[in-house]
Structure 1
Amino acid sequence: MASIGQRTLVTFVIDVSHAMGEPSTAGDLRSPLERSVSFVSLRVLEMMLRGLSTVKVCLITYGDTETDNLLAPPIKQDDAPSSEFGGIREIWPPATPTVATLNRLKELTPSAPGYYTDPLNALTAAIVSMCTPKHGEPSPSWTRIIYLITRAEAPMDPKDLDTIRNSLESKQISLRVLGFGFPCSPLARVKTEAWATERYVDQWHDLLADLPDAKFSSAETEEQMATAPTIQVTKSAPTSTTLTFGHPETPDGDDYMAIQVQVLKASAVQRPMSQIKVWRNEDGTELRHVETRRVYYRASELLHAEDDDVKAEPLPDESAESFLRAYKLGATLIPVQRDMEVVPETVQGLELLHFVHGDTYRREYHLGETYFVIADPKSARAQIQLSSLANAAADRDVYALCRYVTRNHADPRLCMLAPFVDEEISYFAMVRVPFREDVKRFAFPPLDRVQTNTGEELRAHSTIPTPEQQAHMDKFVDSMDLMDVDEHGDGDGWYSCAESYNPAVHGLKNAVKHKFLYCNADALPDLNSELTRFFDSPQAVKERSADILRDCASVFAVHARPHEKEQPPAPHKKPRHSADSDATPDEDEQVLGKIQTDAIKVRGTQHVLPLADPAKAFALLVHSTESITEACEAMQHVVFRLLDTKMTNGADTTERMEQCIRAYYDAATQLDEAPAFNAFLRRFKARVVQKDLVLWSTLTKNSHCSLITTEKDEGHRVAVTEEEATAFLAAP
């Protein structure tokens, strides 16, 4: 696929003969003409979405029933072609592509039987159209590209091959031939069943072999490449400034020097295209830009806007005039007064402050994009000065700390200049670094020990991996090394940063293209394989790490997540009533009450603990969720619900309460929930002993649990002795 940039004229020459309308019998059932229109439309949309203002497109069809080109007079459909350039029609002269260009493509249909045009004649007409003054490119300096779409069995007259080849070479036109029914490459001269087809393949070989920038590809491959990610290489506009060091008060002194330099971008942030950049009108004939306006809301109302019953009302448009700017310090807003808006008295320039050793620069200080600082190409003095400075800094391995002001009265920036010395040029790479007030150091607790509330340091703890666990994890990490899986043959390993594309950028662009071409499509196509290339690990790495991963799961006691069918159904929210709803409020209340009676919902999740068998569900849940505290709270509600059921209805829930308390006890000792369990058990005892002392003795005897002591608490968060736990079991 040719690279399309600024100042480029692209001509698509499309075969619309009757044979191009015959549908395929295998694989893609679309006809060759439909696939050609799809490819050309995708390429035109790519130019439009890039916003290339100096790109022009020309559309030419051949094998048409009509004639309209620069080499033959216009002929209507019912007239017979009067020359060898008959049946060639320029349906879109060289111009900036618009939605009308796409509409012309959609209107293409195969011609009636009997109409045929030599593809070489169509190629000649395209060359003349591109190179004719005031019709093709505005200037000979433009890049010119021709895409010729043809068929393998299309007859050709080779008498003008040399003339066409010389024209393409002298006018520096890049030719791309897209063929239907061709072998993988016509240059291979593979044998075909039909002698005529083999002869035509050889003729294409003769045409393309000697052209320096001519390429051939099957139409199927090019159509897939049209959705592949494309890289838009942009040129940075240089900004002229002055690199100074010394005392600005004495610019004529010996201790002051100024070097004329230029600043260029070395990298550019690529973001996904705006979703309102391109929009179709209802008639589908033109582009329109969606009008946007700024609307203000009260922050207090937006906080409650998630509830359907509360709707935030926008403030009047004239209210923006009464707004005050403010600085935010924590939760405090300080209004900006007029005397606080001070315009800095800065002057544009790059002032060198001092040099620092290269080892002292930390990579996390890098802010924003990277820039190149080069000497002014028009000043030999500046080139010698900057080259000498860069070489001296490189020899001493030092970086230059600078104060950069982009324009007069702008805020200053602190930048770091790193020297680079190549064979042909010496320059600096500039990055922005933070000020001292922008950097904060965070102290994290050590990973090899924990400190209890009493100040004791523990080297063995449930949250600290054991030596065996660390050894198994080291083996797993080593088995997942991708550097020895080289699929490119370049020694850089499996991953290639240059071939890793952002799906958010290219996937959104392809989605816009697809919906633009197929407005009524229900679903979007899958992402191109180039976008998902590095989404999954290589199969070889997966296979060699499978056994080690199972060993890690065993050593770390990882529990498999319970299957969905093993989990109890989650209670549904009460549905809102609508005009077409058959349910009544009383029926909804009955269903909701039944669900709330049968299960307790875990706060903040979709999980529930069924009252029929809560202990089993709780044991599975706490080892498969991150909401451990919420699950323990739900278990407390379950125990109190079972207690109320027994006291009120006389139901036999004693065994279930024993199982719940025991399951809660085991989880609390292991998962750092001991303080919450002890507080729960104290509340539970206070409620039970008021009504049934025998029940308390039965529960504590059969569940074999009391308060969690300091010795049994793996988190060491409680201070309860064995004597206190034993005394707690006795009824007051």
Structure 2
Amino acid sequence: MAEKESTVFILDLGASMAQTNSGRKESDLDWSMRYVWDKITDIVAANRKTLCVGIVGLRTDETSNKLQEDDGYENISVLQELGQMTMSSLRSLQSSIKPSKTLSGDAISAIVVAVDMIDTFTKKLKWTRKIVLITDGQGELDDDDLGDIAKKMNDSNIQLTVLGVDFDDPEYGYKEDGKTSTKAANETTLKNLVNECQGGIIASIAEAIDELDTPRIKSVKPYKTYDGPLTLGDPETLPAAMNINVERYFKTHLARPLGASTVVVTSEQAGGTQSTHTLDDDGMEGIEFSAVKQARAYKVNDPDAPGGKRDVEFESLAKGYEYGRTAVHISESEHNITKIEAQKAFSIIGFIPWNKYEPFLNMGETCVTYARKHDAKSNLALSSFIWALMELESYAIARIVTKDGKDPLLVLLAPHIDPDFECLYDVPLPFAEDVRSYRFPPLDKVVTVSGQTLTKHRLLPSDELTEAMSDYVDAMDLSTYGIDGEGGSAEYAPIDETYNPAVHRVNHAVKMRAVHTERPIPETPSVLLRFSSPPEDLIEKVQSRIASLVESAEVKKVPPKAKGRRQRETAKPISGLDVDALLGAERKGRVSEANAVPDFKRALASTEEISEIEDAAKQMGTIVRSLVTDSFGDSKYSQALECIGVMREELMNLEEPGLYNSFVRDLKKSLLSGALGGDRRDLWFKIRWSRLGLVEQEQSEASDVTLEEAEEFYKSR
């Protein structure tokens, strides 16, 4: 169960907070609220009833608190009582956060009000209690009872954090010049109070704001996945079988970005009906949202029913599985036979040496297994088993069923020994269907068709290339490229400083939009992109290695693809034979329906005059119309589409897009008018889907069709 936390934020809303200082473009209040909104949105996203927040306004125009009858508590207002923070309360709170017109208000008294709120709400129960004061230190402070206040906070286990606007912070490296005497005295007073409080913190809020972009790792309590015996052999039939009481927990767990919910705007008519469900986090600028409900209806063909279909109940349906193009149905009774009625168990079924196992077989998330707590016998037995695996350099293979009825899973158990603890790590193993075996030719030799083995070949790297690549890889080593706190070498990208941009970027965007609905989403924080590319200075250092590698590999720039020309030289075969003469002079330039695509390409390759290109295009157009006209349903549509695509590409290469555009315009009219054997609109939709319309100017410079005309052409009219 998550710990119960109560936090009270004391926000200084005095008139001085409306000023801009230290070269900032936003007011001190707006700048400070960056930190507050970040913390509050984290709390809203957690959606925990045991995570409670209270807001106290300091130096407000009005006074509203339980202690206002006493002297010294003026201009302090409770903006939100301690309780769960929701989107609705976040919206209402935003309208209250604005600078006041007064400079009066005692921050020490505001702390007393916050302490009273926490004591009243949490009573003597087990809670984590925090007070966060954010101020510019410009108001007057009463420091008479600091010792008593600190003692009360220590007795109540309340942690005090003071974040000051432009406060001096030697550790952060900031000192404000020209500080007023009032602010300097207030800083000293607050520092004295914090020093007397257990676990108190005082710092410049600039440091807290600078750290907002760095993701905060969520601490998760251990989640137990299995609690029971780990066996080797059958303890019920074999007295010597191993039986150790263990507990298994998640060690790693996949983190996913926030999921989106589909909602609709609640209509006024449906607002009071039972069919409308309003979300808890409603009230976005007066707009309420409703969850989208889904309903399924199952129908079967029935000629006697109205409309030819009849509704059926879900319970009367059988599960169907697609097998090729056939739907194979399995009844519930037959389906139950395929399910394994597994019992909860964790049993070892074999062992494998370390050097016989490939790491790429690891699948899924890692779990860790310990001996059961307060069970000395199980601790000793598991320790012996772990040490045996270490000495034999072996892994164990185990079958685990976490609960009765769950599917069994095979896992690999790896021993781990530290001075403080011993455990077994396990990862799921793949099924045979999960393993894909691909065969590749060897990288160090070439085997000819006759069986001869070659170690030097144009497809094999030379010794110079291998050495150049080895030097380049060594020069790009990142394992010791980082710098530790003492200036020595360290790991460049430690795991605890590497964050998932997909997860944390979505979190940043959602929090920003929750607070500021109109502002644009800021750029991705640099901390998330820190390791997205290699260090620039390292790349500069290895340029000489890259040059050597390029030279050894004989890397050459591929020339750009030459554009087609109207007058092309006919490709001559190496043999010197006249293929056209062998095929017969009468077939030169002819395009037959039986072999349309090769004939069309051959005809264009042998053209010498523009009239010959036009003739080949006309023949191909006639073949396409014939295929469409003779097609029974859509039986010849695929062949027609292939011919159209080849015709379009070849004429573009010859810089004659006008011939294709004339053809496709006429084809569209014929298809939509029914002139090609009836209604052929379905073929027109396929042409649109394949983007085989007009050739526009960006695709071919010889075309006189604009992009707008090409897009207009796809409309069915």
Return the TM-score normalized by structure 2.
0.68
Would you say 1:360 and 2:347 are equivalent positions?
A: no
Contact 1:68 1:90 in 2 (8 A): yes
Give the Cα separation in 1 of the matches to 2:31 and 2:44: 20
Residue 141 of structure 1 is matched in structure 2 by 126
Name the structure 1 match of 2:345. Answer: 349
**Structure 2 residue aligned with 1:535:** 532
Q: Secondary structure at the match of 1:609?
A: coil
User: Which residue of structure 2 aligns with residue 553 of structure 1?
Assistant: 550
8 Å contact kept, 1:450–1:461? yes
Going from structure 1 to structure 2, the CA distance change for 1:154 and 1:546 (only over 3 Å counts) comes to farther
Residues in 1 aligned to 2:295 and 2:386: alpha-carbon distance in whole angstroms: 48
In the alignment, the residues of structure 2 paired with residue 316 and residue 542 of structure 1 have an alpha-carbon distance, to the nearest angstrom, of: 69
Whole-Å separation in 2 of the counterparts to 1:497 and 1:85: 49
Provide the residue aligned with 1:10 in structure 2: 7
Matched letter for residue 496 of structure 2: A
Whole-angstrom CA distance in 2 between matches of 1:514 and 1:189: 28
Equivalent residue runs for 1:362-381 within 5 Å: 362-381=358-377
In structure 2, distance between residues paired with 1:335 and 1:524: 50
Q: CA deviation at 1:451?
A: 4.6
Alpha-carbon distance in 2 for matches of 1:192, 1:182: 11
For the structure 1 residues 258 and 283, does the alpha-carbon distance in structure 2 shift closer, same or farther, using more than 3 Å as the test?
same
Of 333, 339, 342 in structure 1, the residue corresponding to residue 334 of structure 2 is: 339
| Number of aligned positions between the proteins | 557
CA separation of 1:289 and 1:96: change in aligned 2, threshold 3 A: farther
Cα deviation, residue 108, structure 1 = 2.4
> Percent of aligned positions with the same letter in both sequences?
23
Work out which of the residue numbers 247, 264, 288 in structure 1 matches 2:249: 264
Q: CA offset at residue 444 of structure 1?
A: 2.0
**Structure 1 residue identity aligned to 2:336:** E
- Counterparts in 2 of 1:460 and 1:507: CA distance versus 1, 3 Å: same
Comparing 450-459 with 361-370, which one deviates more in the overlay? Answer: 450-459
| 1:455 Cα deviation from its structure 2 partner | 5.8
How far is the alpha carbon of 1:550 from its aligned partner?
A: 3.1
Per-residue deviation, 1:511: 0.8
Matching residue's letter, 1:117: G
Q: What is aligned with 2:482?
A: 486
Cα offsets for 1:26-48 (capped at 9, x unmatched): 23x22122233333222111122
Of the three residues 87, 94, 117, the one matched with 2:82 is 94
Task: Summarize the alignment of residues 685-704 of structure 1 with structure 2, pairs less than 5 Å apart.
Answer: none
Specify the alignment match of 1:64 in structure 2.
60
Point out the more displaced range, 438-447 or 471-480: 438-447
* Rounded Cα–Cα distance in structure 2 between residues aligned with 1:553 and 1:173: 64
Query: Is the 1:401–1:417 contact (alpha carbons within 8 Å) kept by the matching residues of 2?
Result: yes
Q: 1:62 to 1:292 in 2, by over 3 A?
A: same
Pick aligned residue for 1:39 from 35, 41, 44: 35
Separation of aligned partners in 1, 2:155 and 2:19: 38
Question: In the TM superposition, what is the alpha-carbon distance from 1:436 to its structure 2 partner?
Answer: 5.4
Q: 1:540 to 1:331 in 2, by over 3 A?
A: farther
Which residue identity is paired with 1:426?
E
Deviation at 1:537, TM superposition (A): 1.8
Name which of 473, 477, 498 aligns with 1:477.
473
Between the aligned partners of 2:222 and 2:288, the Cα distance in structure 1 is: 29
Q: Which position in structure 2 is the counterpart of 1:126?
A: 114
**Partner amino acid for 1:118?**
D
Task: Out of 158-167 and 506-515, give the one that drifted further.
Answer: 158-167
Q: Does the 8 Å contact 1:69/1:89 carry over to 2? A: yes
**Pick aligned residue for 2:611 from 617, 640, 648:** 648
Instruction: Give the Cα separation in 2 of the matches to 1:289 and 1:263.
Output: 41
Deviations 1:558-589 (A, max 9, x none): 45689xxxx8xxxxxxxxxxxxxxxxxxxxxx
Contact 1:53 1:96 in 2 (8 A): yes
In the other structure, the counterpart of 2:509 is 511
- Equivalent position of 2:18 in the other structure: 21
In 2: Cα distance, 1:531 partner to 1:143 partner: 31
Q: What letter corresponds to residue 609 of structure 1 in structure 2? A: K
Match of 2:93, as an amino acid? L
- Which of 542, 547, 563 is the matching residue for 1:609? 563
Q: CA deviation at 1:7?
A: 1.4
Q: Matched residues in 2 for 1:47 and 1:243: separation?
A: 40
Letter in 2 for 1:222: A
In structure 2, which of residues 51, 56, 60 is the aligned counterpart of residue 55 of structure 1?
A: 51
* Most deviating of 154-163 and 87-96: 154-163
Q: Partner residue of 1:217?
A: 203
Q: Deviations over 1:582-632 (max 9, x none)?
A: xxxxxxxxxxxxxxxxxxxxxxxxx993548999xxxxxxxxxxxxxxxxx
Amino acid at match of 1:291: V
Relative to structure 1, the CA distance from residue 437 to residue 612 in structure 2 (aligned partners, 3 Å threshold; closer, same or farther) is closer
Provide the C-alpha distance between the structure 2 equivalents of 1:64 and 1:289, rounded to a whole number of angstroms: 37
1:268 and 1:55 mapped to 2: Cα distance? 23
CA distances 1:491-516 after superposition (whole Å, capped 9, x unpaired): 54211111100010000111111122
- The structural deviation recorded for 1:55 is 0.5
Distance (Å, rounded) in 2 between the aligned partners of 1:245 and 1:650: 80
Between the aligned partners of 1:517 and 1:431, the Cα distance in structure 2 is 41
Q: 1:648 to 1:612 in 2, by over 3 A?
A: closer
Q: Give yes or no for the alignment of 1:544 onto 2:541.
A: yes
- In structure 2, which of residues 231, 234, 238 is the aligned counterpart of residue 244 of structure 1? 231
C-alpha separation in 1, matches of 2:390 and 2:562: 65
Mapped to 1, the partners of 2:174 and 2:436 lie a distance apart of 67
Aligned-partner Cα distance in 1 for 2:251–2:257: 20
- Pick closer, same or farther for the CA change 1:477–1:276 going to 2, 3 Å: same
C-alpha displacement at 1:409, in angstroms? 2.9
Deviation, 1:271, is: 0.9
Cα distance, 1:485 vs structure 2: 1.6
In the TM superposition, structure 1's runs of 4+ consecutive aligned residues that sit over 6 Å from their partners are: 186-189, 277-280, 294-297, 315-323, 328-333, 612-615, 636-640
Asked whether the 8 Å contact 2:16–2:138 carries over to 1, the reply is no
Q: Is the aligned partner of 1:399 residue 2:387?
A: no
Q: Do the aligned partners of residues 276 and 539 (structure 1) sit closer, same or farther apart at CA in structure 2, a change above 3 Å counting? A: same
Structure 1 pair 512/26, CA: closer, same or farther in 2 (3 Å)?
same
The alpha carbon displacement at 1:517 in A equals 2.0
Matches within 5 A, 1:558-573: 558-559=555-556
- Matched residue, 2:627: none
Per-residue CA shift, 1:201-255, capped at 9, x if unaligned? 32233233354422233333323433431211111232422222332542xx522
